[in-house]
Amino acid sequence: MIEQFIKSYWEYYLELESQLIETKRYVEFGIKNNQTYSVEYLKLYQAVCSEIDVVGKEIAQTVNPNFKVDDHTNIFKWGFQVQQQFGFIKDTCVLFNDEITLQPFENWEYEQYTDSSNRTRLRIVGGIKNVIKWWKNYNKVKHQRIGLVKGTKNYILANQENLVLAFAALFLLEKLFLEWRIVEEQYNGSIDESRLFIKQ
């Protein structure tokens, strides 16, 4: 399983990361450039967040073989499954570019509850204020990049801050999964490391 994951997902992550590194030729990584946005950032932001969704579903199915993925499987559903295995993910930090500490899944926690119709549902612990900001912004960019009628300008949310947080999230998801599977499968092969992120 781990070798297939590396080939299908980790190597793609490293390719996306190489594209992020290329953007440094034009805009330096750093807090002062957090709000800088561009078409290149927009392309990467959408690719990385889409990959988070894909990887999240794969991990959810591995953690819980009974978990079914369909057209309605969203971050609530796969996220809850991921958190059953990696409940500490919300507290885990990542070091970016050897200088910036990030916590991409801060406050990310779902709980089950029974609604008034006696159906089991999921909700965010702490309410809507705990929605992951970079994921919320990704959905704004994806669904309404620009509002021609209302003048919405969500494309500016495809900025360096949101992009780097999304990358940190994808890196962390995959890193935690790989570490778990290495132990489970007693895998001793080599795995190329990220050039930008270190799990703390």
Each residue's pLDDT tens digit, 28-76: 999 999 999 999 999 999 999 999 999 999 999 999 999 999 999 999 9
Give dist(CA 174, CA 32) in Å, integer.
28
Give dist(CA 56, CA 67) in Å, integer.
12
Q: What percent of the chain has pLDDT over 70?
A: 96
Joined together, the tokens standing for residue 49 give 């967040």
- What type of residue sits at position 68? K
Joined together, the tokens standing for residue 187 give 């895998």
pLDDT at residue number 152: 62
Conformational region of residue 118, where left means phi above 0, alpha means psi within -120 to 50, and beta covers everything else? left
Residue 129 pLDDT class (50, 70, 90 cuts): confident
Q: What percent of the chain has pLDDT over 90?
A: 90
pLDDT at residue number 193: 98
pLDDT at residue number 149: 52
Each residue's pLDDT tens digit, 146-193: 654 565 688 999 999 999 999 999 999 999 999 999 999 999 999 999
Q: Is 40 exposed, middle or buried (0-12, 13-18, 19+ CB in 10 A)?
A: middle
Q: Per-domain residue ranges for the chain?
A: 2-199
pLDDT at residue number 127: 79
Give dist(CA 93, CA 91) in Å, integer.
7
| Cβ atoms 61, 83 nearer than 8 A | no
pLDDT at residue number 146: 67
Each residue's pLDDT tens digit, 89-101: 999 999 999 999 9
